[in-house]
Each structure stands twice: as C-alpha cells, then as structure tokens.
Amino acid sequence: MLEKIDLTKTVSDKEFNEALPRLKARLSVLQRILRDRKIPTIIVIDGWNTAGITMSTHSIIQSLDPRGFTLHATGRPTEEEKESPFMWSFWIRTPARGRIALFARSWYSRAITTEMQKSGWKKSLEGKSGPINNFERTLTDNGAVIIKFFLHIDKAEQKRRLEERERNPLTAWLVTPLTWNIHYHYEDSLPYIDQFLEKTDTPYAPWHVIGATDRNYVILKVYSILVKTLEKRTESVNDSKSKKERLREPVLPKKNPVKRISVPENTCTKEECQQTLSNLQIEMLELHYLIFKRKIPLIIMYEGWDAAGKGGNITRIARYMNPLGYDVIPIAAPDETEKDHHYLWRFVRHYPRAGHVAIYDRSWYGRVLVERVEGFCSTAEWQQAYHEINDMEADYVHSSGGGIVKFWLEISKEEQLRRFQQRANDPEKIHKITEEDWRNREKWDLYDEAIDEMLARTNTEIAPWTVIESDDKWYARVKALTTVIDCVKNLL
Amino acid sequence: MLEKIDLTKTVSDKEFNEALPRLKARLSVLQRILRDRKIPTIIVIDGWNTAGITMSTHSIIQSLDPRGFTLHATGRPTEEEKESPFMWSFWIRTPARGRIALFARSWYSRAITTEMQKSGWKKSLEGKSGPINNFERTLTDNGAVIIKFFLHIDKAEQKRRLEERERNPLTAWLVTPLTWNIHYHYEDSLPYIDQFLEKTDTPYAPWHVIGATDRNYVILKVYSILVKTLEKRTESVNDSKSKKERLREPVLPKKNPVKRISVPENTCTKEECQQTLSNLQIEMLELHYLIFKRKIPLIIMYEGWDAAGKGGNITRIARYMNPLGYDVIPIAAPDETEKDHHYLWRFVRHYPRAGHVAIYDRSWYGRVLVERVEGFCSTAEWQQAYHEINDMEADYVHSSGGGIVKFWLEISKEEQLRRFQQRANDPEKIHKITEEDWRNREKWDLYDEAIDEMLARTNTEIAPWTVIESDDKWYARVKALTTVIDCVKNLL
C-alpha cells in the first residue's frame, strides 16, 4: 500500500485557502447531524513520526464543537495499560453514540511500537491484525463509522524534519536517541508496517494512506475524505436503512452442544460438601496467591436461571480468595451511558488487571438471553453476537495470557418454583423475589431455547462452558470451586 | 487518643465463637437494609503496619454480599494519582447509594506516608486534616454513613509481628528495609499520628481506635461497632427523619457581591476583537506549553444564561491551546449512576491531571442554580452547597497547586429573547433552541435571584468569579481569553 503512494503531490496556498473553508463548514454541519442521529464516530490519524499527525489533528479540531468530541493521544502505555489486554485501553475510549472519538495515534502505533521491541516482529505484528479487525468490525456492525488515516513520508523527508525539530529549542526535547534509532530502522520496518496496513485494510474500516510531504495537501485530503465518508453515511435520512445494509448476514458459529442437567450423577451430603469446600480452601488461597505473583489475570463468569444460586455461589468462591485480589462485578440493566455505547463496552471496562480476578455476576451473554427473549435488540444483532463474543473471549485470552471460566447454573423448572415460593413465604427472603422473576418464568421455554443455542455456539476450546448442576446448592458450590481450581492450575 | 487505649484486652475463643455468628448475621441483614434504603456506606480500616487491617477486612467481607460492596486497598499512589489532587483518588471511589465502599487503608495512610517523607511533617500532616474533614462532612451531610477504625499496637508488638512475617517465606517479601525504617520511627511518628487522629475525629465521622493486640478482640470489636452504628442509622423506618437530624443548619458564607452587566464600558468592533484574539493566540500557546512542562493543572469553568454563548466562547479558547493538553467536559442532566453518587462526584472525576486543562461547560454550580429553581434538591441542600463548593475549590487549588477560572456569561433579558428568536427563525440554528430554553426564560427572575446569591457567596479570593459581558460575543471571547492568560501568568 505504501509503495504506490505519490509523495510529490502538493496544493498551492491559493487553492488551499479557497477549498478549506467550505470543507470546514461542511464538517461542522456533519458533526451536528451525527450527533442528532446518535451515530458514534471514530477517527484515527496514525503514521510515521513527524508526518504531521499533531498538525492534522489540530486542524480538524478547529471545525468541531469541542463539547461533542474527545481527543485521545496514544503514547507510551501507562502502568495500568501494560497490565491490561492489548485492546482494553482503546475499548474504554470508544465513543458514546452521537460523539466523536479522535485518536492521534492509536492501536496501530501501540501495536507497532510494542512489537518492534521484540524479535521476530513480522509474525507478532501480523498476529495483532486479527484482534484489531475484530474490534473494528464489531464496532461498525453495531453502528459506528471508523475513518483511518496513515500519513506517509519517506526516510529522507523524515530525516529533514527530525533535524529541523532538533534545531528548534522549543521542540528539541521531542528528538531523543530512541527517536533516531527508530528512524535508522525505517527501511527495515517499512515492509512490515506495509503488510500490517494491508491486513487491516477492510471494507468496514478501510485505510486512507496520504502522501504527507506537503502540509496543504495533507490537510485538504484529510478533510475531503472525512466529509465524503460522513456524507455518505448520513445521506439516507433514516439511519436504519443504512443499518440494514451495514449489518452483514450474521455468521453463526458451528454448534458444539452442551448437555444441561440440574442434578449430578454423584452428589454429596451437605456436611460432605462443606468439608470438601473447607479442604479446598487452602489450595484455592495458594493458587490465588500464585496467579497474583505471576501476574496472570482470571475472569470467572456466572449465568443461570433466576434463583439458581449465583449469589451464594459467588460468595463462597470469593471467601476462598484474598479480597485484595478480586472484584465482583454485578451486572444489571444498562444505564443511559452504557446504552449509548457498544453493548460489550460496559463489560470490557471491568477486565481484571494482570494478577487480578474479576467475577462477573451475569455478563455479556445477556445479549443472547434477555435481549433476545425480550426483543431489546434485533434478531440479526443477537445472532451476530455469538461470533462477536467468541472473538472477544479469544482475544482476551490470547492478549492477556489469562483464563476465563464460564458457569451456567442449571436448576429444574420445579426447583425454581419451589425456591420462588420459599422466598415468597419467608419474610427474611421475600425481598429476593420480584414481579420480574415471575414474568421471566412465564417465558421459560423461550429462555430454554435461547440457553441451548447460547451454550452450543459459544462453547469454544479456549473458553468452554461448565454446567453446574444447581438443584443442590452445596454440590454446586463444590463443583464451582473445583472447576476454578482446575482452570487456575492449567494457567500456571 | 492513642495513649489511652488499653492494649491488653483479649477475648477467649469460647466467647468469640459464641458472639461472632450473631454479629455476622446481623451485619448481613443490615447490608440489605442499607441497600434497600439506598444509603451509601464507607468503612475505613486503617492503622499501624501488621496491626491486622487485612485480617479484619477479610473477616468483614465474609458477612457481606459481594455484589453489594467494593473493596479498595490503598497502597502506593499510581502515576495518575501522583498527578492528581490528594483526595481525587478517594472521591472517585466513593460508593453509589445503597453500596458499601470498604477501604483497607485509606486517605489517612496516604496522608501519613506522603507527608512522612517531607521535612517538617508535623505541620503538613495537620494541613491535611482540613480537606479530609471537608470531604467526610460533605459526604455525611449528603447521606453517607462513614465508620472509621484505627487499629493500634505498640512498638514491641509491631516488632514481634514483623519478625514473624520475615521468618515465613510466604510473607517475607512484605518486609523490606523501608518497612523496618518506618518501624524505627514509631516513637517519633506516634505523637503526630495521634494529633492527626484527634483533628479528624468529628461528630459526623468519629474515630474508633481499637487496641489490636488480640485478634479475637479486634474482630469482635469491629463487628460490634459496625452493627451498632448501622443499626442506629437504620432505626427509623423512614430515612428522611434521620436526614433532617443529620443536616446541620446550613452555614452560609459571607456575601462578597459581584456586579453583573451585559455590556462593558469599553468594547471593541468585531474586527478589532478578532485581531486582538489573533495577537493573543501565540501568547496563549506559549503559556499553555509552560503549564504543561511545569505540570500545573488548570480548571476553566463556564456558567451563564441560555444562549449567552458558552459554546462559541469555549471553542475559541480551545483553539488557542494544544489539543493534546485539554479536555472539554460538557455537563448535562445527571444519568442514573451519577444521581446515585454525591452531587460533586461527577465533577471531581474530571479534574485535570498535572499540566492539563479541564474546561467545564456548566458545572457543580448547577446545584445552586437549576436544582434550586426547579426544586431538584431541598432548600437546606442548596444552601449548604455554597460552603461545600468553596471548600472543594479551595482544597483543589491547595492540593494541586493549580488554578481555577470561573466565568459567568451575562446577557440582558432582551438580548436573550433576540437570540432565541434568531435561532427559531434560522433553519441552520433552530436545533439550538428547545422547549426547555423557553421554560427557563419564564423563570428569569428566580434565576436572577439565584445567580446573585451564587456569585456573592462563592466569590472567594482563591477562586473568584469573572463576569463576562456577553451581549457582544466577540468582546466576550476577548475578555475570556485575556482572563485565562492573566490567571495562567499568576500561576507560573
């Protein structure tokens, strides 16, 4: 992609001054339209050092209402970012609907600078393109528009600019020995970066590579592409038509069915179970300490029927861990801010740092359960979610080196009724049963169907489901703890 | 406070095993009551190293539903925390209503360890007690219950425990040369810590100092105090009675009135103003660069009548700054999560880091403007807010070394009507005028009164108001930029 770029294009000051005002005015209007239509926009400006990223960013900003965008400059990773999965710091910066997120350098720069420091970085840079494409695709499938610019200059031009920067006392501090070192490797790195761009050049998020030798040309080109892309996106008055066009036919993952039973073959008495839990306690504490020391993150995720016992199970598991090393994330209906973001955003925010454990009480599977049954999202959206979820979980495991344990707590329909009635009749527990629980129960068969499909389509090798037979809550707690222990042993 | 503590108290295993279950069950029930009543709870466990903070925390947690609390362990400050005002990292961790925030070590430990490294720390530790008391008081005044424990052991006991820790290979890594160094200074630091506790022992957030030599005794005492305090708080079925009792008679700050005019004595033509702005541009860029280099933070805050021109003013100011060094924070009605927190929480979250600028478009003054006029909070609550806001702004300036510029954009009632009509008649601008704008205008006199009182009571020396005569928007932009430039020059 980079070879073909014409680096000699220029634009005269006269032409620049004639064309720019119209483009700026248009961009300003388009921002308002995007805001009214609640379309989230991501603009990425990346490229070689000194190619003009800061200058272009500064220029674009002058046409935007500052209350409607956020600028994210990607620099060296912070402590927290180094201990989080690769895409996490960018996921948390994805914009709410109607807002613009402008990235001056992005996950592309981060990938290049991170990988460049390792040996054999051709392979590892390629390895990043998969997760990046998944990230961009799920965002665009769920309504975002992504516009990516790569500002390209040749080695001689970069040298010229670095020397100029060095001579100016106000900017000399930006040019370090490391800067020159990276410059010397320009020719070595060019083919890898080129391939990286090729692999991340997609129909839903194409690259716009711009020859950046001439300042006027770069700015005009960036504006033109922004205006053209955003006009196309907003041309139909009703965004739902273009939404239909954008959403590809959902690709459903192959089924890998999981059997659900609520009573295991071999169970234990309450006393036996409690004794087993007690015995396992020390082992769990030691293992938790080891994943903390070795900085391995762990996600434990609970789904299940209402009244299946998620809360009690989580409480017991948590007891056997050092409280400074885990967080419990209770998931309920999304609030307004969360509804304004991609549906996975609110879960990714809580990813555990290296060495920490995050226990999700309900999860992103709500998309294919309650949202499917209640119609909170379209059929195409939940059908697509299986694939998106599998990608997200795989990317998490690969980029964090951590593990993910997924529990489905199964009880029989009769047992659920028994527990509901028990709660309704007990003044100490009546608060635990609500109208919503009864309404969900009426849709048992619809949920049953949704659960079977969910388990079958997201039971992957990297993140398998474990069904916990939960009619007997003490057995359920033992099974959950032993499953977690086995998973952690495998990680260490 | 520490001198008087009896360090010889013990509790037999028999007594412990008899008393604890009842207390644990009671705490569990109380958590649920607090959740249903939407009362936010803060539990602080602080004290000497090895006094049993982790152990006590772990014990309390076993009685709590993990989905209803968050544990915050306060350790060494992160990069981000070092670059933020002292109380910021604790403000952002204050709990939503109905939730419990448990602090294993807290702002007390942070204050002690931070100040201990400086010379003359007697004075500086005292200096921290003011902001800490302001923080705790505003939280309790707005509904939170704060329970603070200091676990106390003597020097000999601490030595014994440190040696034990050192002998155990699993825990030896916790005992470093620094740990011993701090231990050697036990006697030196005792009187200062004692005084610090005295100064932060208040009726709304009293200290519970516990002699922590005996493990059984500590745990039982912590539980008893928790249960007793929370039972008292929840004894009246209706929380509003206790709310009335808790809210002190609001103390209104002395008035320091500010004159409001919408047209200045000396104005400039549009061309003159634009030329001035252009001339000031370079100076602003240089000053912005200097505060960035010297790591000085700056808050610029806008309030004003509807249609006064906040948006346009912000856009022009922002243009003269490096986009990588500022954030614009648009404030609108709070979402559910924000409503569930203290009213200042959502603003403190956006405090700028050292060297950065935060521009608030509307602000915490909403409490004494729209919330007062529309009755979204009680009279006592907005009357109290003047003091709370003055404290918050003073604490911010003192602890960050930064500045805060407060703008009130004034237009005449006639000018507002003119602008409303102009927007209503212009298809390009009609989106800018809403039903709400007209409704607010009907309450002009009520707002007028609220604005006068707001300016008078919060026009402090440390954070004065600047009225911007905004009938002429170009004059307004010049005045805003020159005010910011003057403020920054004073900071440098």
| Domain closes at, from A246, A281, A308 | A246
Tell me: do A207 and A296 sit in the same domain.
no
Structure tokens at A231: 């006009």
Within a domain: residue B257? no
Q: Residue B472: pLDDT above 90?
A: yes
When pLDDT is averaged across residues A393-420 and rounded to a whole number, the result is 95
What is the domain count for chain B? 2
Q: Which of A22-26, A312-316, B127-131 has the highest mean pLDDT?
A: A22-26
Q: What is the pLDDT of residue A278?
A: 87
Question: Within 13 Å of residue A228, how many CA atoms lie on the same side as its CB?
Answer: 7
Domain boundary among B212, B246, B280: B246
User: Is the CB of A78 less than 8 angstroms away from the CB of B80?
Assistant: yes
For residues A318-333, average pLDDT: 85
A8 found inside a domain? no
CB contact under 8 A, A323 and B71: yes
Residue B252, in any domain of the structure: no
- DSSP per-residue letters across A9-42: ----HHHHHHHHHHHHHHHHHHHHHHHHTT--EE
Question: By the 8 A CB rule, do A103 and A89 touch?
Answer: no
Write out pLDDT tens, residues A61-96: 888 988 899 999 998 888 889 999 999 999 999 999
Mean pLDDT (chain B) is: 92
pLDDT tens, position by position, A438-449: 999 999 999 999
pLDDT of A32: 94
B98: left (phi over 0), alpha (psi -120 to 50) or beta: left
Chain B residues touching A68 at Cβ < 8 A: 330
Range B100-112 average pLDDT = 95
Say how far apart CA B161 and CA B210 lie, in whole Å: 17
Assign residue A286 the CATH number of its domain: 3.40.50.300
Cβ within 8 Å, pair A67-B335 = no
Q: Would you say residue B58 lies in a domain?
A: yes
Residues A286 and A233 in one domain: no
* Token pair listed for A465: 């489901």
In this model, does residue A29 exceed pLDDT 70? yes
Of A144-158, A300-314, B71-85, the range with the lowest mean pLDDT is B71-85
Q: In terms of domains, do B278 and B219 share one?
A: no
A431 chain-B contacts, CB cut-off 8 A: 32, 36
Show residues of chain B in contact with A171, CB under 8 Å. Answer: none
* Strand B357-361 relative to strand B298-304, pairing: parallel
Integer Cα distance of A421 and A415 in angstroms: 10
pLDDT greater than 70 at residue A420: yes
Q: Is the pLDDT of residue B241 over 60?
A: no
Residues in chain B with CB shorter than 8 Å from the CB of A80 are 78, 80
Q: Pick from A323, A336, A359: which is nearest to B335 by CB? A: A336
Q: Which of B70, B311, B327 sits opposite A65 (nearest CB)?
A: B311
Do B81 and B147 have their domain in common?
yes
Query: Quick one: B275 and B239 in the same domain?
Result: no
Does B66 sit within 8 Å of A328, measured CB to CB? Answer: yes
- On chain A, the residues whose CB falls within 8 A of the CB of B36 are 431
Mean predicted confidence (pLDDT) in A8-21: 94
Same domain for A388 and A448, yes or no, is: yes
- Sign of the torsion angle spanned by Cα atoms A454, A455, A461, A467: positive
Of B6, B29, B7, nearest in space to B226 by CA:
B29
Q: Residue A61: which of B54, B70, B323 has the nearest Cβ?
A: B323
Integer Cα distance of B26 and B20 in angstroms: 10
Give the residue from chain A lying closest to B68, CA to CA. A330
Stronger pLDDT, B278 or B470, i.e. the higher one: B470
Q: What is the maximum alpha-carbon separation in chain A?
A: 87
Nearest C-alpha of chain B: how many angstroms from A248?
33
Quick one: pLDDT band at residue A246, thresholds 50, 70, 90?
A: low
Lowest mean pLDDT among A94-98, A240-244, B48-52, B83-87: A240-244
> Does residue A255 lie in a domain region?
no
Average pLDDT over residues A329-346: 93
Tokens representing residue A50 in the block: 């000194």
* B375 CB-contact burial (10 Å; exposed 0-12 / middle 13-18 / buried 19+): exposed
Whether B142 and B175 share a structural domain: yes
The residue out of A246, A280, A302 marking a domain boundary is A246
Same domain, A331 and A232: no
pLDDT score recorded for residue B315 = 87
Task: Assess contact for A28 and A64: CB atoms under 8 A.
Answer: yes
Predicted structure pTM score: 0.83
Q: Compare CB distances from A71 to B323, B336, B431 and report the shortest one's residue.
A: B323
Nearest chain A CA: its distance from B324 CA (Å):
7
- Asked if A368 and A455 count as a contact pair (C-beta separation under 8 A), the reply is no
pLDDT (0 to 100) of residue A242:
57
Asked if residue A258 belongs to a domain, the reply is no
B67: which chain A residues are within 8 Å (Cβ-Cβ)? 311, 314, 328, 330, 361
Most distant pair of Cα atoms in chain B: their distance: 87
Residue A322 lies in a domain: yes
Element (H, E) at A45: strand A41-47
Cβ B298 vs Cβ B488: under 8 Å: yes
> Which of A:217-256 have CB within 8 Å of B?
none
Give the nearest chain A residue to B72 (CA atoms): A324
Please choose, from the candidates A220, A224, A230, the residue with its C-alpha nearest in 3D space to the C-alpha of residue A56: A220
Query: Chain B contacts of A79, Cβ < 8 Å?
Result: 78-79
Report the pLDDT value the prediction gives residue B267, as an integer from 0 to 100. Answer: 87
Residues A234 and A274 in one domain: no
Read off the pLDDT of residues A117-129 as tens digits, 9 standing for 90 and up: 776 777 778 789 9
B370 and B325 housed in the same domain: yes
**Residue A436 domain boundaries:** 270-491
Which pLDDT tens digit goes with each residue over B154-211?
Answer: 999 999 999 999 998 778 878 989 899 889 999 989 999 999 999 999 999 999 999 9
Interface residue of B53, B67, B72 to substitute, partner A, most A CBs within 10 Å: B67
Same-domain check for residues A279 and A325: yes
Instruction: With CB atoms and an 8 Å threshold, state whether A57 touches B323.
Output: yes
Q: CA of B329, closest CA in chain A: separation in Å?
A: 7
Report d(CA A419, CA A412) in Å as an integer: 11
- The question of ipTM being above 0.95 is answered as no
The 10s digit of each residue's pLDDT in A271-288 is 999 999 888 988 898 899
| Percentage of residues of chain B with pLDDT beyond 70 | 97
Residue A33 pLDDT? 94
Residue B362 structure tokens: 């509307």
* Residue of B392, B299, B298 whose CA lies nearest to B345: B392
Of chain B, the end-to-end C-alpha distance in Å amounts to 42
In a shared domain, residues B40 and B103: yes
pLDDT category of residue A100 using cuts at 50, 70 and 90: very high
Provide the sign of the torsion angle of the four alpha carbons B73, B138, B199, B223, taken in this order: negative
Could you tell me if residue A3 is inside a domain? no
Predicted confidence at residue B247, as pLDDT, reads: 59
Q: Which of B364, B407, B362 is nearest to B387 (CA)?
A: B364
DSSP state of A251: P
